[in-house]
Amino acid sequence: MEKIASLRGFRDISGEEAEKFVRIELVSRAIFELSGFREISIPILEKTELFKRSIGDTTDIVEKEMFTFIDRNGDSLTLRPEATAGVVRHYLQEALHARERISRLFTMGPMFRHERPQKGRFRQFHQVDVEIFGAAEPIVDAELLWMITRMLDRLAVKYYAIEVNSVGCKACREPFKEKLVAYFSEKKEALCPDCQNRLYRNPLRIFDCKSQACIELGKESPLIFDHLCENCRAHFETLTRYLAEFGVDPVFNKRLVRGLDYYTRTVFEVTSGELGAQKAFLAGGRYDNLVEEMGGPSVPGIGFAIGMERLALIMSSSQISKGLKYFLALIGDKAAAYRIPVIKALAERDIPISYSPNPKSLKSQMRHADSIGTDYVMILGEGELEKGIILVRNMRSGNQAELPLDTTSLAGRLQTLVLE
C-alpha cells in the first residue's frame, strides 16, 4: 500500500527545531508576563468576512493566499492567515473595552497561507502574537520594541536589525495617495499587473510588492514619511526619544510599509541577514482605527507577530535545554521488582528516566538507551542486588560508579554525581 505523505507546505516539526520552539514559547511567556500580558487562545477557523474587513480585500493575503471554503451550511470560512483579526474579535466579543482601560494580550499557534513554500516560510506556519488595546501613546510603541530586544537577547539572537517607519494616519495618508497615484500613473505600464490594479485602489501597497520592476520604480517615488501631518510627526519624534531612553537603536527605513491595510503611524520589522532576501522574522505596528472599523468603539491598538520557523533558523543550538537523560536497565525478575520504585523516585525529583518495557539482554537495553540519547544508564542485576548497589554508567566515557540501592536517596545522589 502506498504511503501517505504530508501536503506541500505542511510538515512535521520535530527534533532540534521542536526543542527551539519550546524555548521560544518559554522565553516569550516569561518576558510577556513581566510586562503585564495575559495569554489567550483563539480559534484556527473564523468567518472569512473577519479577515476581509480587517486585513483589507486588496492585500495579497485576501486576494491570493487564504485557505477559504464553504461549509455545509453555506458559510464562507477561512483558516486564520494571521492572529490580530481574531484577537480583535475576541476583544470585542468579550467586551474587554468596557472592563479594562488597557488590555495586553498574547497568543501562540499555527497560521495558514497558500503561498509558495521557501526557506522558513510554509503554508502552515507558527506565530507568537502580541497585542495592546487602549494605549495611543508612543511610549507603548517604544516599550514593545524594547521588550522584543529583551526577548531576542534571552534567546541569544545576536545579529538582527530593528527597522522602524511611520505610515501616517488618515489625515496625512489621503493627500499623500494623490501624489503617489500621480507619480506611478506616469509609469503604469512598467508596473506589474498586480500593482496596476492596486494603483487607484490602494497605491501604498506598491511599496510592499516583491517585483523587481516595482521596487526599482519605487526608489524615486514620494514617501509617506516626508508628508506626515503634524500629529504623526510629533508621535514619531517622541517615539524616537523614548527608544533612546530604553536603549533601543533602530534603523529608520522610510520605505518600510506593512502588507496589511490596517496599520497607522508606527510600523516596524526585525530582520536578519542570515535569512536571505526574505529577511524579516518579526513585524508589527500600530492600528488605531481597526477596532472601530470592526464594529467596536474608537480604541487604539498596537502589536506584532514573530515567525517561529524563521526565528528558529537563526537561533543557536545552545539555546536548547540539554538536561541529563537517564535510563534504567534491569536484568532478571528480582531486579524488575525495583523498576516502578526507581522510576517514581526519579520522576518525583524531575529527573528524566526511560526504560525498556520488556527488558531482554543488557546489550539490547544499552542499544535502546543509546538510540534515545541517554547520558547515564543505571544497571541493576543479581550481582548488584547482592551488593545492595545500583551501577551508574556514563554512556560517553564508559566510566562507572556504584550508588546505594536506596530509592529514597537515589535521586539526590544522582544529581550530585560527577562521572566524567
| Average pLDDT of span 343-363 | 86
Is there a single domain that holds both residue 147 and residue 57?
A: yes
**Per-residue pLDDT tens digits for 249-305:** 999 998 887 766 678 999 999 999 888 777 899 999 999 999 999 899 999 999 999
Do residues 76 and 48 lie in contact, with contact meaning Cβ atoms separated by under 8 Å? yes
What single-letter DSSP state applies at residue 94? T
pLDDT of residue 406: 82
What single-letter DSSP state applies at residue 206? G
DSSP-derived 3-state class of residue 116: coil
Do residues 97 and 88 lie in contact, with contact meaning Cβ atoms separated by under 8 Å? no
Tell which of 292, 318, 344 closes a domain. Answer: 318
- Give yes or no for residue 126 having a pLDDT over 90: yes
Element (H, E) at 209: none
Report if residue 1 sits inside a domain: no
- Residue bearing cell 517514581: 344
Q: At what angle do helices 15-34 and 138-154 cross, to 10 degrees?
A: 140
| Average pLDDT of span 227-253 | 94
Expressed as residue numbers, the domain containing 122 is 15-169+229-318
What single-letter DSSP state applies at residue 121? B
pLDDT of residue 52: 85
**Per-residue pLDDT tens digits for 158-192:** 889 999 999 998 888 888 888 888 888 877 777 88
Report if residue 213 sits inside a domain: no
Is there a single domain that holds both residue 274 and residue 332?
A: no
| Average pLDDT of span 381-400 | 86
From the list 381, 375, 388, 383, the residue with the least C-alpha distance to 419 is 375
Is there a single domain that holds both residue 238 and residue 370?
A: no
- Give yes or no for residue 35 having a pLDDT over 70: yes
Is there a single domain that holds both residue 390 and residue 285?
A: no
Report if residue 179 sits inside a domain: no
Is there a single domain that holds both residue 165 and residue 305?
A: yes
- Mean pLDDT taken over the chain: 88
Is there a single domain that holds both residue 273 and residue 331?
A: no
pTM to 2 decimals? 0.84
| Average pLDDT of span 207-213 | 76
Instruction: Compute and round to an integer the Cα radius of gyration of the chain.
Output: 28
pLDDT of residue 260: 64
Give CA torsion, residues 413, 414, 418, 420, to 10 deg. 150
What percent of the chain stands above pLDDT 90? Answer: 43
Considering its fold, how many domains does the chain have in total? 2
264: domain CATH number? 3.30.930.10
Report if residue 8 sits inside a domain: no
Is there a single domain that holds both residue 143 and residue 287?
A: yes
- Give yes or no for residue 415 having a pLDDT over 80: no
Is there a single domain that holds both residue 342 and residue 397?
A: yes
Report if residue 66 sits inside a domain: yes
- Give yes or no for residue 320 having a pLDDT over 80: no
Confidence of residue 360 (pLDDT cuts 50, 70, 90): confident
Do residues 258 and 267 lie in contact, with contact meaning Cβ atoms separated by under 8 Å? yes
Distance CA(199)–CA(205), nearest Å, equals: 8
pLDDT of residue 309: 94
336: domain CATH number? 3.40.50.800
Distance CA(54)–CA(83), nearest Å, equals: 11
Report if residue 302 sits inside a domain: yes
Q: Which three cell numbers mark 295?
A: 464594529
Burial class (CB in 10 A: 0-12, 13-18, 19+), 212: exposed
Is there a single domain that holds both residue 146 and residue 71?
A: yes
Do residues 420 and 399 lie in contact, with contact meaning Cβ atoms separated by under 8 Å? yes
